Amino acid sequence: MKTIFKILLVSFFLMVFQFALFAQNAPPPPPSGGGASGNNNVPGGSAPIGGGLTIMLILGAAYGSKKLLNWNSEEIKNNKNNNHKN
């Protein structure tokens, strides 16, 4: 019960105080005009991250669900074993 309380407490603080967890400000915009070569490429390219991000979120949720179910089944087994010993 104490571990569940600790997990809920940490989750609550992370949700409530997430505004304080920002990393750093964005870099300043490049100077206008594009220079002599006219090369206006965005640093890092323009690769979309939407599909990969969705897949990672789904996989993370599935992994967390499996861990939670395994933990829950172990708790049930431990409670049954403790009840039989008494």
In a domain? residue 11? no
In a domain? residue 44? no
Residues with pLDDT less than 50, the chain = none
In a domain? residue 73? yes
pTM score of the predicted model: 0.39
> What per-residue confidence (pLDDT) applies to 60?
94
In a domain? residue 76? yes
29-53 per-position pLDDT tens digit: 777 765 555 556 666 666 666 777 8
Q: DSSP H helical segments within 1-86, as ranges?
A: 2-16, 50-85
CA distance linking residue 54 with residue 60, whole number of Å: 10
SS3 of residue 3 by DSSP? helix
Q: Which residues form the domain of 70?
A: 49-86
Instruction: Tally the residues of the chain.
Output: 86
Beta-carbon contacts of 13 under 8 Å, excluding residues fewer than 6 positions away, are none
